[in-house]
């Protein structure tokens, strides 16, 4: 984050990842606190939902096998309500964590003095700014992802129970497509949040600006970068499901150890994804020879610590070089 625009625009795939981890380790205290407060709850919720969905899917599968359709409908209703509650919580946590990350990255970029306490103070105001125009985008994204996650155990159950080449091909194709769509959608949403805070754009203009940054900054390279992270998350989730949730051959101690490893890996991946996407925003801006006025942005960030919400009705904070 301490690089100038010329250095940022030359960063490639490996360079962005290196800069991501350099930023994390340079500010390890604040990112550790961020992980404990926001990332750990998200990771725990994501992994625990596999246990719930697996339990209900098993019962639905057994009820259908014994033609107990009334009990099966009841389980589907329970699964539907559980998924809705899960979506509500995961969307709220995602919005709060995004608000905190946007503020942290903004402070690091502008060299603004801050602590985790000031981040917590600023989060409600940042949250309010990105909530209105971005909530439905987040709902669509999370619904798509979690609907896939809900069906994923059933797909694996069928594939493992009755191996079929065509079924495996369909599951693999849907998985790859989901990674691409979710990766780009998530990146576009995250960048639009950065645009809403760092620039004088709000709502649909912010979404349009973020997509414009992605398309004009080597679309396929960005797609590859984002999908690599999505595949990493998917591999962790698949490993957790196969070896911990679905497996009956491993002992309790082994499952606990593997579960902790998957939990930590997932948390690390989510954290690096947040920082990576934020850094990619600055790389895209530098590539297009645009620059953010650090002094104006610093004033906006400091205003988030007080009752007055910045940017709204103010001058633009982004200017082309």
Could you report the per-residue pLDDT of 51-84, keeping only the tens digit for each? 887 788 778 777 776 677 777 788 888 877 888 8
Domain that holds residue 284: 5-312
pLDDT at 227 over 90: no
The residue-averaged pLDDT of 288-296 equals 73
Q: With respect to residue 264, please indicate whether it lies within any of the assigned structural domains.
A: yes
Q: In 28-115, which ranges are continuous DSSP H helix?
A: 28-34, 40-65, 69-110
pLDDT digits (tens, 9 = 90+) for 161-203: 555 566 666 766 776 676 677 767 777 777 777 777 777 676 6
Q: How far apart are CA 27 and CA 245, in angstroms?
A: 35
Retrieve residue 208's tokens.
């349009």
Q: With respect to residue 321, please indicate whether it lies within any of the assigned structural domains.
A: no
Q: With respect to residue 241, please indicate whether it lies within any of the assigned structural domains.
A: yes
Range of weakest confidence among 72-76, 126-130, 151-155, 299-303: 151-155
Q: How far apart are CA 30 and CA 37, in angstroms?
A: 11
User: What percentage of the chain has pLDDT greater than the value 70?
Assistant: 68
Q: How far apart are CA 293 and CA 22, in angstroms?
A: 24
User: What percentage of the chain has pLDDT greater than the value 90?
Assistant: 12
Q: With respect to residue 121, please indicate whether it lies within any of the assigned structural domains.
A: yes
Q: With respect to residue 319, please indicate whether it lies within any of the assigned structural domains.
A: no
Q: Tally the C-alpha atoms within 13 A of residue 140's C-alpha that lie toward its C-beta.
A: 10
What confidence score (pLDDT) does residue 282 get?
79
Q: How far apart are CA 148 and CA 152, in angstroms?
A: 6
Number of domain units in the chain:
1
What confidence score (pLDDT) does residue 4 get?
62
Q: With respect to residue 272, please indicate whether it lies within any of the assigned structural domains.
A: yes
CA torsion sign for 291, 293, 294, 297 is negative
Q: Is 308 left (phi over 0), alpha (psi -120 to 50) or beta?
A: beta
The DSSP bridge partners found for residue 292 are: 318
The residue-averaged pLDDT of 30-45 equals 93
């Amino acid at each position: 984050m301490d690089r100038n625009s010329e250095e940022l625009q030359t960063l490639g795939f490996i360079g962005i990842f290196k800069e991501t981890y350099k930023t994390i380790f340079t500010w390890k205290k604040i990112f550790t606190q961020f992980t404990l407060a926001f990332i750990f709850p998200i990771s725990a919720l994501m992994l625990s939902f596999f246990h719930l969905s697996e339990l209900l899917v098993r019962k639905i599968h057994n009820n259908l096998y014994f033609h107990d359709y009334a009990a099966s409908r009841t389980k589907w209703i329970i699964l539907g309500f559980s998924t809705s509650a899960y979506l509500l919580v995961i969307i709220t946590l995602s919005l709060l964590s995004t608000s905190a990350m946007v503020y942290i990255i903004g402070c690091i970029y502008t060299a603004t003095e801050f602590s985790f306490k000031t981040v917590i103070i600023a989060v409600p105001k940042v949250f309010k700014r990105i909530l209105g125009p971005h909530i439905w985008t987040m709902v669509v994204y999370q619904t798509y992802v979690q609907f896939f996650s809900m069906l994923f155990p059933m797909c694996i159950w069928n594939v493992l129970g009755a191996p079929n080449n065509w079924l495996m091909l369909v599951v693999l194709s849907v998985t790859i497509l989901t990674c691409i769509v979710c990766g780009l959608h998530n990146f576009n949403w995250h960048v639009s949040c950065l645009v809403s805070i760092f620039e004088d754009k709000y709502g649909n203009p912010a979404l349009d600006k973020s997509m414009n940054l992605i398309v004009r900054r080597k679309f396929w390279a960005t797609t590859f970068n984002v999908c690599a992270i999505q595949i990493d998350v998917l591999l962790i989730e698949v490993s957790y499901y196969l070896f911990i949730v679905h497996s009956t051959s491993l002992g309790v101690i082994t499952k606990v150890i593997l579960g902790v490893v998957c939990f930590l890996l997932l948390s690390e991946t989510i954290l690096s994804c947040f920082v990576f996407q934020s850094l990619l925003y600055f790389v895209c801006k530098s590539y297009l020879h645009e620059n953010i006025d650090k002094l104006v942005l610093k004033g906006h960030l400091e205003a988030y610590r007080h009752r007055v919400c910045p940017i709204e009705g103010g001058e633009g904070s982004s200017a082309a070089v």
